[in-house]
């Protein structure tokens, strides 16, 4: 968000509301004492008489407003510590912990100290970068397909992201990764392929990186070239940025695209995209670990996809100059939603009585954590009509407007369907109903797969440690089992277990036994091929840790092929030895999942959308795995909030006894 705010303030300081602002002269004015450095770059290329380099130099300076770097020596001190940790042999997670502590302590003030590039970038630095970029373009078989305009977007910029150090990053990247292409054996099939060249470099970079860890809560990012090549931990964007720096330094045209917020998920994501020699834009999906051009998030929806560009986006700049609210849209991001999904242009009426203070409206998607409704786009208002362009389909939106003090809803929530049609969620029709809620978040394909692994699983009891005399107490035939399965058995047994169906690895998250309401304790036991640390995970009260016999590196989401790979998919079980014959009244079996099922003991609140706000239908602490509510407005948009843990929550409609998630 900080880069957006900086971009905003610079844009407002530099650009008037003219139709054709003189970006070059305004950047030179912004540069202040550094102006001679920028003028020297222009003079240098004017003197050598290369029209494309002249244009490239002006392009970089004209669009420099809004680009910024760290200021002062403190960031270099931080990078020095990071490098010492990286070279110490310390494990990535330990490096992460150390730098996170420093980021929140001694160096907590560093992110607030930034400076506009126009004020600090040196002539020699720009000239070296321009010449290196042209060397990577002209005569390079992997970039010769680029037009000059594409070259400016995909190869030329002197940096790949904000806060990147103004160092010799191209030289550093070539020194570390240039051998990848130099060692590539010539062939008659793919040797001239831009795509294949990128794959050679990508695999080489991954091999050099070795083991690395991905986190969502990261320390101050590492943005000097030397720290980047030593990355062993970070967010997806960190490894995307490293890849972009490596690829561009070797003449492979890539940009960084991102979705600020998914259509049905609170988070966003960034990835690199290759412009290959067939003119195709090939996104990488994840970070350096994925091949660009393969199936791209096939189950996700995208309200907006933006490209992180060096160039100033005139549409966003116009908004920042003319709006009253000044929502911090980054002026160096360009809308490319229609490069990824089918989109729609929509027009909506502005409600009568709305106190309009600007000629803009805002489009938001449900967040539920940060802001409840997150703005993803703006649209112009004229003749009391809001117009939004190029928006993703199969998503629920809410149009909002600024009344001079805050954003307020201007419409009911509405859905832009797959075919482009639009329908409003009209809300309560005056009738009510009783509902039962089993989850607060939609089920992914993986969650359903894990839940179905319970089918055919059995609760067994025995008095022999080998279960030679095992009695079948209960067989799971439904994905939605009770929170506490009644055993209906009066006879006591010493040994109790959950026996997974063949092919399931015995996969469960939690197992518990109860005598009446009392939770029973005992010695953990399992099949001979189960690992001890995984046996204990079935009894640790953590729904995000799991028991399964395919353990170790397979302690993750599984695919069907794992059964063939491990040989331990059949006959897996876990249970408890109570030391004596014990009556058990109830058994709790929790499937592997994302822990978004209703969790006994958590405090929840159910809301419904009533025209312009969320209204509560009451709080309750879950006593089982189902929440029951009466007098729920029929047809209303609903939202269950968990106050105890987690933040994955989605609104839903309740149709025919089932949630329809948005």
Spell out where 420-547 has E strands.
422-424, 432-437, 458-462, 471-475, 485-486, 493-499, 510-515, 518-519, 523-526
pLDDT, position 216: 78
Closest listed residue to residue 399, CA positions, set 368, 363, 443, 430:
363
Single residue among 564, 590, 616 that ends a domain in this structure: 590
* 336 found inside a domain: no
Spatial neighbors of 615 by CB under 8 A, at least 6 apart, are 607, 608, 609
Given pLDDT bands bounded at 50, 70 and 90, which one contains residue 8?
very low
Which stretches does DSSP call E strand in 32-74?
Answer: 68-70
- The upper half-sphere exposure of residue 507, i.e. CA atoms within 13 Å in the direction of its Cβ, equals 28
Q: Each residue of 71-84: pLDDT tens digit? A: 999 999 999 999 99
Q: What is the pLDDT of residues 112-158, one digit of tens each?
A: 999 999 999 999 999 999 999 999 999 899 999 999 999 999 999 99
Residue 270 lies in a domain: yes
**CA geometry: angle 614, 615, 616, nearest 5 deg:** 125
Which of the 8 DSSP states describes residue 221? P
Q: Tell me, yes or no, whether 79 and 114 share the same domain.
A: yes
Rounded Cα distance between 33 and 463, Å, is 87
Q: Classify residue 319: in a domain, yes or no.
A: no
Say which residue the tokens 């994840």 belong to: 286
Burial of 4 (0-12, 13-18, 19+ CB in 10 A): middle
The pLDDT assigned to 19 comes to 33
Q: How far apart are CA 467 and CA 528, in angstroms?
A: 13
Q: At what angle do helices 35-48 and 51-62 cross, to 10 degrees?
A: 160
133 token code pair: 């970029």
Report the number of distinct structural domains present in the chain. 4
The span from the CA of 59 to the CA of 82, in Å, is 34
**Domain identity same for 541 and 605:** no
Q: Is residue 340 part of a domain?
A: no
For residue 539, give both structure tokens: 């009894």
Instruction: Say how far apart CA 451 and CA 89 lie, in whole Å.
Output: 40
* CATH number of the domain that residue 654 is part of: 2.60.40
* Distance, CA of 504 to CA of 558 (rounded, Å): 10
Of 614, 604, 609, the C-alpha closest to 635 is 609
> Do 617 and 489 lie in a common domain?
no
Residue 449 lies in a domain: no
Please answer whether residues 41 and 62 qualify as being in contact, where contact means their C-beta atoms are separated by less than 8 angstroms: no
Between CA 182 and CA 337 the distance in angstroms is: 36
Higher-confidence residue: 395 or 355?
A: 395
Tens of pLDDT along 241-269?
999 999 999 999 999 999 999 998 888 89
Looking at residue 473, its pLDDT comes to 96
On whether both 212 and 287 belong to a single domain, the answer is yes
Pairing between β-strand 213-214 and β-strand 233-234 as defined by DSSP bridges: parallel
**Predicted pLDDT at 371:** 76
pLDDT for the residue numbered 21: 60
Q: Provide the pLDDT for residue 10.
A: 45
Roughly how many angstroms between the first and final C-alpha of the chain, as a whole number?
26
d(CA 450, CA 439): 15
Unique residue bearing structure tokens 């909002």: 400
Distance of CA 544 to the CA centre of its chain: 19
Residues 580 and 607 placed together within one structural domain of the fold? no
Q: Could you list the residue range(s) of the whole structural domain that residue 371 is in?
A: 345-424
Residue 322 included in any domain: no
Give the per-residue pLDDT at 267.
84
Please, what is the average pLDDT of the chain?
A: 91
Could you give the residue ranges of the DSSP H alpha helices within 429-497? 445-452
DSSP 339: G
Tell me: do 155 and 92 sit in the same domain.
Answer: yes
In a domain, 209, yes or no: yes
pLDDT band, residue 218 (cuts 50/70/90): confident
State whether 580 and 605 are in the same domain: no
Please tell me whether residues 283 and 368 are part of one structural domain. no
Q: Which residue has the higher pLDDT, 218 or 387?
A: 387
pLDDT of 5 strictly over 70:
no
Rounded-to-integer distance, Cα 158 and Cα 498, Å:
60
Asked which of 590, 616, 632 is the last residue of a domain, the reply is 590
Q: Where are the beta strands (DSSP E) in 430-484?
A: 432-437, 458-462, 471-475
Instruction: Mark which of 308, 333, 362 sits at the end of a domain.
Output: 308
Considering the domain architecture, whether residues 247 and 179 belong to the same structural domain is answered as yes
Per-residue pLDDT at 140: 95
Which tokens is 242 given?
A: 């490293």
Taking only the tens place, the pLDDT of each residue in 480-518 is 899 999 999 989 999 999 999 999 999 999 999 999 999
Flag whether pLDDT at 286 surpasses 70: yes
Total length of the chain: 662
The answer to the question of residue 338 being in a domain is no
Residue 567 has a pLDDT of 53
- Do 43 and 106 have their domain in common? yes
Same domain, 534 and 632: no
Q: Is the separation of the CB atoms in 223 and 282 below 8 Å?
A: no
pLDDT band at 628 (very low <50, low <70, confident <90, very high): very high
pLDDT band at 238 (very low <50, low <70, confident <90, very high): very high
Instruction: At 169, list the tokens.
Output: 């990053």
Q: Is residue 265 within 8 Å of residue 392, measured between CB atoms? A: no
Q: How far is the C-alpha of 53 from the C-alpha of 620, rounded, in Å?
A: 67
Are residues 216 and 110 located together in one domain of the fold?
yes
Look at residue 662 and tell me whether its pLDDT is greater than 80. Answer: yes
Q: How confident is the model at residue 563 (pLDDT cuts 50, 70, 90)?
A: very low
DSSP H or E stretch at residue 146 = none
């Amino acid at each position: 968000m900080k880069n957006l705010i900086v971009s905003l303030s610079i844009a407002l300081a530099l650009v008037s509301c003219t139709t054709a602002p003189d970006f070059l002269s305004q950047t030179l004015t912004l540069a202040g004492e550094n102006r001679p450095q920028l003028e020297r770059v222009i003079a240098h290329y004017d003197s050598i008489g290369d029209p494309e380099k002249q244009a490239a130099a002006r392009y970089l300076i004209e669009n420099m407003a809004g680009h910024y770097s760290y200021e002062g020596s403190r960031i270099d001190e931080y990078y020095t510590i990071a490098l010492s940790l990286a070279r110490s042999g310390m494990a990535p997670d330990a490096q992460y912990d150390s730098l996170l502590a420093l980021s929140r302590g001694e160096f907590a003030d560093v992110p607030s100290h930034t400076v506009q590039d126009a004020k600090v970038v040196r002539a020699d630095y720009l000239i070296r970068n321009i010449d290196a970029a042209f060397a990577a373009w002209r005569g390079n078989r992997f970039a010769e397909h680029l037009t000059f305009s594409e070259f400016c977007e995909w190869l030329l910029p002197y940096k790949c992201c904000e806060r990147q150090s103004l160092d010799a990053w191209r030289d550093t990247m070539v020194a570390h990764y240039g051998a990848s292409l130099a060692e590539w054996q010539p062939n008659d099939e793919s040797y001239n392929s831009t795509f294949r060249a990128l794959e050679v470099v990508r695999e080489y970079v991954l091999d050099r990186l070795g083991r690395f860890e991905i986190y969502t809560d990261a320390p101050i990012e590492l943005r000097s070239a030397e720290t980047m090549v030593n990355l062993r931990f970070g967010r997806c964007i960190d490894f995307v940025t490293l890849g972009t720096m490596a690829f561009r330094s070797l003449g492979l045209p890539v940009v960084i695209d991102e979705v600020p917020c998914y259509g049905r998920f609170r988070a966003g994501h960034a990835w690199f995209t290759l412009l290959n020699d067939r003119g195709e834009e090939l996104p990488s999906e994840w970070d350096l670990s994925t091949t660009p051009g393969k199936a791209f998030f096939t189950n996700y929806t995208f309200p907006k996809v933006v490209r992180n560009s060096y160039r100033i986006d005139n549409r966003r700049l116009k908004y920042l100059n003319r709006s009253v609210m000044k929502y911090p849209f980054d002026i160096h991001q360009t809308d490319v939603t229609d490069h990824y999904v089918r989109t729609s242009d929509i027009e909506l009426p502005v409600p009568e009585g709305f106190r309009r203070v600007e000629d803009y409206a805002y489009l938001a998607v449900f967040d539920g954590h940060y802001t409840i409704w997150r703005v993803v786009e703006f649209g112009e208002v004229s003749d009391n009509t809001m117009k939004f362009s190029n928006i993703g389909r199969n998503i629920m939106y809410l149009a909002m407007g600024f009344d001079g003090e805050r954003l307020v809803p201007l419409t009911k929530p509405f859905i832009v369907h797959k075919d482009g049609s639009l329908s409003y969620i009209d809300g309560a029709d005056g009738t009510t109903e009783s509902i039962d809620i089993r989850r607060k978040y939609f089920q992914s394909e993986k969650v359903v797969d894990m839940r179905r692994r319970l089918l055919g699983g059995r609760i067994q009891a025995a008095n022999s440690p080998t279960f030679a005399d095992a009695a079948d107490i209960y067989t799971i035939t439904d994905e939605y089992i009770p929170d506490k399965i009644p055993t209906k058995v009066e006879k006591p047994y010493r040994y109790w277990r959950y026996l997974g169906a063949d092919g399931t690895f015995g996969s469960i998250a939690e197992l518990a036994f109860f005598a009446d309401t009392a939770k029973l304790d005992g010695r953990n036991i399992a099949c001979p091929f189960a690992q001890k640390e995984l046996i204990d995970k079935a009894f640790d009260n953590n729904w995000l840790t799991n028991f399964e016999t395919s353990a170790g590196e397979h302690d993750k989401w599984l695919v069907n092929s794992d059964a063939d790979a491990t040989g331990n998919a059949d006959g897996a079980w876990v249970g408890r030895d109570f030391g004596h014959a014990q009556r058990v009244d109830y058994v709790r079996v929790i499937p592997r999942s994302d822990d978004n099922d209703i969790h006994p003991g958590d405090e929840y609140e159910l809301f419904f959308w009533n025209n312009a706000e969320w209204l509560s239908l009451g709080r309750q602490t879950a006593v089982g795995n189902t929440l029951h509510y009466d007098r729920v407005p029929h047809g209303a948009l609903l939202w269950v909030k968990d106050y105890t843990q987690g933040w994955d929550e989605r609104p839903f409609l309740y149709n025919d006894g089932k949630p329809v998630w948005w």
